[in-house]
Amino acid sequence: MSTPKIEIDRVGQTFRVRSQETGREQDFVALDNVSTTVRAGEFLTIVGPSGCGKSTLLDLISGLTTPTSGEVRINGRRVEGPGTDRGVVFQQYALLPWRTALGNVEFALESATDLGRKERRARARDYLQLVGLEGFENRRPGELSGGMKQRVAIARSLACEPEVLLMDEPFGALDAQTRESLQEELLQIWRRTRTTIVFITHGIDEAVYLGQRVAVMSAHPGRIREELAIPFSAESDDDDVRATAEFAHYRHQIWTLLRHDQQAAADRAEEAAHV
Ligand SMILES: Nc1ncnc2c1ncn2[C@@H]1O[C@H](COP(=O)(O)OP(=O)(O)OP(=O)(O)O)[C@@H](O)[C@H]1O
Ligand SMILES: [Mg+2]
Measured from the CB, is residue 56 less than 6 Å from ligand 1?
yes
* Dihedral sign for Cα atoms in the order 251, 254, 257, 263: negative
Cα–ligand 1 centroid distance for 136 (angstroms): 35
Among 7, 50, 43, CA closest to 207: 43
pLDDT, average across residues 127-156:
90
Q: Which atom of ligand 1 is nearest to the CA of 16?
A: 4
With 60 as the cut, is the pLDDT of residue 234 above it? no
Among 163, 148, 228, CA closest to 197: 163
* CB of 57 closer than 8 Å to CB of 67: no
Amino acid present at 208: V
With 70 as the cut, is the pLDDT of residue 235 above it? no
Q: Do the strands 196-201 and 43-47 form a parallel or antiparallel pair, or are they unpaired?
A: parallel
Closest-CA residue, ligand 1 atom 26, reads: 50
- pLDDT class of 77 with cuts at 50, 70, 90: very high
What are the DSSP E strand ranges found in the chain?
6-18, 25-38, 43-47, 69-74, 77-78, 86-89, 164-168, 196-201, 213-218, 223-229
Q: Identify the pLDDT of residue 119.
A: 94
> pTM of the prediction?
0.91
Closest-CA residue, ligand 1 atom 4, reads: 15
pLDDT, average across residues 78-102:
90
Q: Which atom of ligand 1 is nearest to the CA of 169?
A: 27
- What burial class does residue 263 get, using C-beta atoms within 10 Å of its C-beta: 0-12 exposed, 13-18 middle, 19+ buried? exposed
Measured from the CB, is residue 13 less than 6 Å from ligand 1?
no
In tens, the pLDDT along 244-261 reads 899 999 999 999 999 888
